[in-house]
Amino acid sequence: MDDYVEHMVKRNDPVYWKAALGIAAVLTVISLFLALQYAFALLLLLAMLAADYAIWLFSSVEYEYTYFGGSFELDEVLNKSRRRKIVETNGEELVLFAPKKSDAAKSEIGNAKVLDYSGNGSEDKKYAYIYIRNGNKTCMYIEGTEELLKQVRRNTPQKYKTY
């Protein structure tokens, strides 16, 4: 199990999530007062409670990277209670693994679909993981640890670039 790497990063939360949580809380309190006065407002209160739950669930997102023998798996963990698989790739699909700001990554991205699954760490630790599946090129930005870099370099040395 020397080549098994697992790493979790917290998503860089957009500013509007904090605003959405505040607005939802205020609207829920208002709908509670309305529900105490009018029976039909009880439906509004139930709708606001459902919206609060949905906003709360997506307010804390972490990404888990798992790398094993050339295969890369990315999971999204919602509020430490739900997990969903985002992508699973293998070494044959990988085109390039390079620092986000490197010339190799910039030239390879081209018309690729770009997805950011990196956390709020420093830009120096962010890497472009570019792969092709079914003729579609995708670039995922992830945060790389020393162990992850070591394993990618070991398993797919021709696809790992540092410049």
In a domain, 42, yes or no: yes
pLDDT band, residue 142 (cuts 50/70/90): very high
User: What are the two backbone dihedrals, phi and then psi, of residue 114, each rounded to the nearest 5 degrees?
Assistant: -105, 125
In a domain, 137, yes or no: no
Q: What is the CA radius of gyration of the chain?
A: 21
In a domain, 29, yes or no: yes
In a domain, 158, yes or no: no
**3-class DSSP state of 50:** helix
* Segment 145-162, tens digit of pLDDT: 999 999 999 999 999 998
In a domain, 136, yes or no: no
In a domain, 22, yes or no: yes
Are 33 and 26 in contact by the 8 Å Cβ rule? The answer is no
Q: How many domains does the chain have?
A: 1
In a domain, 81, yes or no: no
User: Exposed/middle/buried for 109, CB within 10 Å: 0-12, 13-18, 19+?
Assistant: middle
Domain span at 51:
15-57
**Residue 2, pLDDT above cutoff 70:** no
Assessment of whether the complete model's pTM goes beyond 0.85: no
